[in-house]
Amino acid sequence: MNNQMSSQRQMRFSELIRSLISECLLVEEFYNLEISIKSITVSFVKMSKDLKIANVYIMPLGGQKNNNVIEQLNDNKFVFQKFLSKAKLNSKFTPKIYFYLDDSFDEAEKIEKLLLKENVKRDLND
């Protein structure tokens, strides 16, 4: 039962952090970024069990220069940390942020293409 409660708390906190990161992308000034900050979707946030680390998964629209986007966001994560520290998190600390590329859409597309192949269709129908 205790595991379920902590997992529920992680999910609530994850959604709060996701929302705040999205808001930060819209309202903060990023003068030194070569990328369009407005074209980034924050897919989801995965929190550590102790809520000290937030792994933020993003997807740049258009899917171009993905690694460059991740690198620049991680280089500027202090802006996000500062934004979170000003928010009312009801937590003793501000989580450390790490940005990652959300490749779940690419994986889903690969699986869908595989399922559409004739030999796979045949095997599934047997």
Q: Is the pLDDT of residue 101 over 60?
A: yes
pLDDT of 31: 66
Alpha-carbon distances, residue 61 vs 42, 87, 103, 122, 123 (angstroms): 11, 27, 12, 35, 36
* Distances in whole angstroms, Cα of residue 68 to Cα of each of 20, 60, 107, 119: 22, 10, 20, 38
CA atoms within 13 A on the CB side of 65: 12
Q: Residue 33: which pLDDT band, with cuts at 50, 70 and 90?
A: low
Domain boundaries, the chain: 2-125
Q: How many residues does the chain have?
A: 126
Q: What is the pLDDT of residues 40-89, one digit of tens each?
A: 889 999 999 999 999 999 988 776 667 788 888 999 899 999 999 998 78
Look up the pTM and report it. 0.76
Question: pLDDT tier at 14 (50, 70, 90 boundaries)?
Answer: very high
Q: Collapsing DSSP states into helix, strand and coil, what is residue 115?
A: helix
Of the candidate CATH numbers 3.30.300.20, 1.10.565.10, 3.40.50.10800, 3.20.20.70, the domain formed by 2-125 belongs to 3.30.300.20
Q: How confident is the model at residue 46, as a pLDDT? A: 93
CA distance 41 to 58: 6
d(CA 18, CA 47): 10
Q: DSSP letter for 22, please.
A: H
Compare 31 and 13 and report the one with higher pLDDT.
Answer: 13
